[in-house]
Structure 1
Amino acid sequence: MSTIIARPAAILAAAGLLLFTILATPVRADTVSQIADGLRQSRLYVTTEARGALNPADQARVRQALDSADRADIRVVVTKPDVTQQSLVRMLDAVQERVGGGDTYLAVTADNRMLGISDTLSGQEVNRLISQTSGGDITDRLVEFSTLAEREAAGDARSGAITTFVLLGLLVLVAGSLVTIGLVSNNRRRRRAERQMAELKQGVQEDITRLGEDIMALDLNVTDPRLDPAAREEYEHALNSYDEAKAAVEAARRPEDMRNVTSALEDGRYHMTAVRARLAGEPVPERRPPCFFNPQHGPSVRDVMWAPPGGAPRDVPACEADATAVENGADPDARLVPVGGVRRPYWEAGPAYAPYAGGYYRGFGGVDLLSGLLIGTALGSMFTAPYGGWGFGGGYPGEGGGLGGDTGDVGGGWDFGSGDFGGGGDFGGGDF
């Protein structure tokens, strides 16, 4: 009889333990890509961490209001409480960039705090609309905001139509001048792009030449029957990568094409390192990212703490010589590339060198790795650095949407007052 009674008790205990485990498991934060995908399907997205903020009926009501505001084209993300103002603004910028549509983006926290960015409304207009909707719950605020924003957009459209007719005559008068200016500007841009491409190609060709010199210096006789077959295979792999890099640079027409060149160079460098190890009877080293300071040095051997001028320290992969130099307070042997007639470290050479760097680190996390290494450098803004586990931040360009048209207007009239609200963690879910 005691056994029969104990079994239900054990089952209840196990079920309680399972329920506790489920409830104790933290909810994984939604990623930028998940939010963007959701906003392509619907103008309202409720994150996993904020599911309880709106019930299904309220969500349907909000979606109907948002869909009715066709002129305003508002997209809304309802998210968890205790998120910083900066985090939400950067999240909206990144989401708008991925969605590729929508005029006004709102973030509403589960504790009913709201901010927005817009391509069509000024910062003052966004703040005014947010202030006008304060006092209601999340559902009522979003419905009212949609109505007010649609009315604002309709008024702007009428004013724009009148202005268009007035300006039409002026545009006709200056059309000839604009065409001339456009042609001159295009010619300048084309010449600048051609000059940048020529310098980039020169820099990449130097890397190819350096690898070719290393291969020639080794001068292996692959037909020698005494040669270790594994060393022969590594050497032939390096030769093939070298040939691939040469062919890719000849075919390159845009900076983006250089990614394939440097990817092949990284491959060739590693296999040359493996050949030397096999010839010396040493273990083949693990395949690590190239030396950050100079990819010509081949694979890194360890990480070293380094900071660019005026930047924060971070761990970067380095060859032994550069790592020792940095640890001793000396300058590493930086890869200097031609830029505007002078030589600069490639990480300070501007956006044309972003694909150059990306190719070298393609097999080691690519953007995810580079974004952390390059924060605070000229190339850093070209990569979206990890931010709160999301995969953006650190100088995110934000070209897909301004802060209400004027970054200085955010604050004051919005729900967060003059500063951040709460110091909780930002969003998660690694994504790029």
Structure 2
Amino acid sequence: MRKRLIPALLAGLLLIFAAAALAPTSPASAAPAATIQDAAQALRDDPVYVDPGARDQLSAADEKALENKITDADKPVFVAVLPDTPAFPEEGLLQTLRSDTGITGVYAIRLGDGFDAGADPQVMPTRAVENLTAAVENPTTAGDADTQLNAFVDRAVEQARGSAPASWSGGGGAADGAGAPVGGLITLGALVAAGGAGAYAISRRNRRRREEEERAALDKLRVVVDEDITAYGETLERLDFHPAEKGADDAMRADYERALDSYESAKSKMDRARHPSDVRGVTRALEDGRYSLAVLEARRTGGEIPARRPPCFFDPRHGPSVADVLWTPSGGASREVPVCGADEARLTRGEDPMSRTVDVGDGNRRPYWEAGPAYGPWAGGYFGGGLLPGLLVGTMLGSMLATPAYASEYGGGDFGGGAGGDWGGGDFSGSDFDSSGFGGGGFGDGGGFGGGGFDGGGF
């Protein structure tokens, strides 16, 4: 009896040892306490990081699916799921994660039951992140991490500019392959290699498509911007001012110099433009120049220096506006728009304003607010991100600019885009980044922000 028991016990022990060797190691029990630096290091290799202490928030399968969604879209979107512990202090958490990861992009953190997000302004504008964060903090999505994070990622990959960083390996959750046998690792490696090749091909195809769309949009914009630059140059030529003329003082000469500099700046920026969003800098320079000319005219005639106002809504080539008047577009609601003196007089007489028209592709020219989304960056440079949405609400251009597809293709979900450095989405910038996009308002409890919302300059 005893002789028969010993082999049975040995066989049982061998089975237990074999099962232990083949079973994945539990990261929650084996791994030491993680830090924000660990999260940042992991995000350099994959778009989603789930801390071992927060594994109950997002399963390995859900993590993998979220990673695949981001890598398939080829967008620089980073997600960290962290436990609400002293190891991850709420204050400055977003900025620290962005700084330590060192890659431009959109960053989302699920901290316990709270949520916060930030982005480099050139990847996703501040207002776009504000709106997106608010949208996923509603009671329907905030209670479940998987639902909330997928809702965020679905919109973020549509709106984010740039491409996924080259350092990403193409996926792999925290628990993938941990403690797996050699045969499993070989199989996993083959699958990853095949998946990586497919993802690379998709990424190249998507990038080529985006580049072609951007080139077409920029070509359409170039016609309109060149008309604006030419018109401004003709205004300078007609200007009857010479720096050495009698009565000219240093202030007048400075105004004249700024007007000339704006002309050169606009031409230079347009020559260097490679994306539709680059056009904003061109029209912004032209707007600066026209204001300088208005100031110069006031000094020469002894008039009052004009206040800095936006250009005429109907045609920015008319120069700075002098008043706000009520205007109702066809089929839209009434709103106040800034107008020049000539258009104010026309509207008072019941006449149509002298509107800026553009080619809409069918041989006809229509007012720019009834044209396609390609003209968004052109208008954004003249009117800025804060003013333009109210002016265009209810118009064809305004409706198009409000869609996530616009932000992805033309840059700037806030109708004008953010500032930010020269780094593009997915580029490695280290700690050299515009931290204004990572101010945040705190994570609060129960998925909400503790009554504060976002502070100015953050999200």
TM-score (norm 2): 0.47
TM-score (norm 1): 0.50
